[in-house]
Amino acid sequence: MAVISPFKGVLYDPQKVDPSKIMAPPYDVITPAFKNELYSRSPNNIVRVDFGKDSDDDNEDTNRYTRAANDISDWLTQGILTAEKDPCYYLYEIRYELEGQTLRTRGFLGAVKLEEISKGSIHPHEETYSKPKSDRLNIMRYCQANTSPIFSLFSSHKTGISEVMDRIAADKPYISAVDEDGSIHTLWKITGQDDMEIIRAEMSDRDIFIADGHHRYETALAFQKEMAEAGKSLTGDEPFNYVLMFLSNMEEEGLTLLPTHRIVEIDSDIHPKEALQEFFDIERIDAADTPVEAVRKHMFEQMKKKQHSFGMYLTNSDAYYIMSHNGKDLGLNLPECLKRLDVSVLHRFIFEKILKVDHYEYEKEASDTVERARSGSYEAAFFLNSTKIHELKEVALAGHRMPPKSTYFYPKLLTGMVIYKY
């Protein structure tokens, strides 16, 4: 069973900083230009620690990781960061707007004891790449901290944790910050022993599903192994045997998954429409007198009506298409839970079997996807529907993995709301 413990968080002092100027989104959505902007907002912005800049003069002794460690140390000395004296959980809530609706994502932050992936109660759902993990490992080595929480889910129809969060949220929060999209991120401390026991009890038999942060979890396992090999793991309860997680109940409303679209290079000898028409009904949907925003809106509306439907944009014809599977067997040698996923059909069948795609990139916004396809050496862009929460749970419990970037949880948690220091 998963062990989810309260911890002594390191937090910014909201009396000494403007919370909205010192928080940052996760490192993997920060562009170089936005990193510069975050740097300019405050000398105490958490991006300097979590995803700092390189310098031409960097060497083994002075680099962005040593600067990150020095910043944390200096900010603690100056009182910009404060370390809690007693362990607690933290209620974290995000209020955001999406398609005209005001929604709420909430959960709690705790220190979760590390388990080998898929060998206990903690389940991944996506494949990962190696490069980001090496960067995250250096942050942990130098800073001895988790600076950004892993976004995880659990399933519970009990009401204990929800009632605790309802009551705590009625009080004044510790800190609140607004992100780039106008979403409001708010944090409260959960300090009462009875409340913490309710959380422990309800979570005692729960499976945990990693929603966003697979790299960080695998990095935490690598760091734990390093510490064990160095002879520093004596009891199994040292802080590096745990990782910072945000845990949200998937049975509550407010969780939003958005799709991540693909931009692809296709060999000039392969014509996408001709290659795909045996298995998909393909319909061109744009018109000369129709605004492109209306075309894309219609495309996404049509995509939702049938399983394994995709949007396609071809740069050569500057045209949008709807592709709907015609029912012909795709011959996918995959477990059933993966066969049913649009993202599996796109990667394992359309890309690998039909179009022989070797290179593709990711983009969240449809307009940016098309602009990048037009401006780069790309022949096509493919648009997906969102993966569903129940699909994530099914794949994870079965011990399988979706292709990378199969899910995009929105909004992203802010880095800097709480730091877990070893």
Asked if pLDDT for residue 352 goes beyond 60, the answer is yes
The predicted model gives 180-195 an average pLDDT of 97
Q: What is the pLDDT of residue 119?
A: 82
Asked if pLDDT for residue 377 goes beyond 90, the answer is no
Q: What is the pLDDT of residue 129?
A: 66
CB 283 within 8 A of CB 312: no
Asked if pLDDT for residue 8 goes beyond 60, the answer is yes
Asked if pLDDT for residue 58 goes beyond 70, the answer is yes
DSSP result, 195-254: HHHHHHHHHTT--EEEEE-HHHHHHHHHHHHHHHHTT--SSS-SGGGEEEEEEEETTSTT
Quote the CA–CA distance of 112 and 229 in Å, as a whole number: 21
Q: What is the pLDDT of residue 404?
A: 87
Asked if pLDDT for residue 361 goes beyond 60, the answer is yes
Quote the CA–CA distance of 64 and 269 in Å, as a whole number: 45
The 10s digit of each residue's pLDDT in 89-144 is 999 999 999 988 999 999 999 999 999 887 889 998 988 766 557 889 999 999 99
Q: What percent of the chain has pLDDT over 90?
A: 87
Identify the residue with better confidence: 291 or 177: 177
Q: What is the pLDDT of residue 130?
A: 61
The 10s digit of each residue's pLDDT in 272-287 is 999 999 999 999 997 7
CB 143 within 8 A of CB 69: yes
